[in-house]
Amino acid sequence: MNRLGHSPFVIYKDNIRGFVYDVETGELHEVDSDPRHIS
């Protein structure tokens, strides 16, 4: 998410979210971002 926040190709950077897919259960788990690293 930090790399996306600094990418020139991502126009809207106020709401970048990340998810991890659990293959065994089929669930998506949201990853908490550290707002200190996104500018």
pLDDT in tens, 7-21: 999 898 888 888 999
Range of the domain at 28: 2-37
What are φ and ψ of residue 13, in 5° steps? -110, 5
Angle at alpha carbon of residue 14, lines to 11 and 28, rounded to 5°: 100
* 24 or 16: which leads in pLDDT: 24
Per DSSP, helices labelled H in the chain are 2-5
Predicted model pTM: 0.55
Instruction: Give the total number of structural domains in the chain.
Output: 1
Give the residue-averaged pLDDT of 25-32: 93
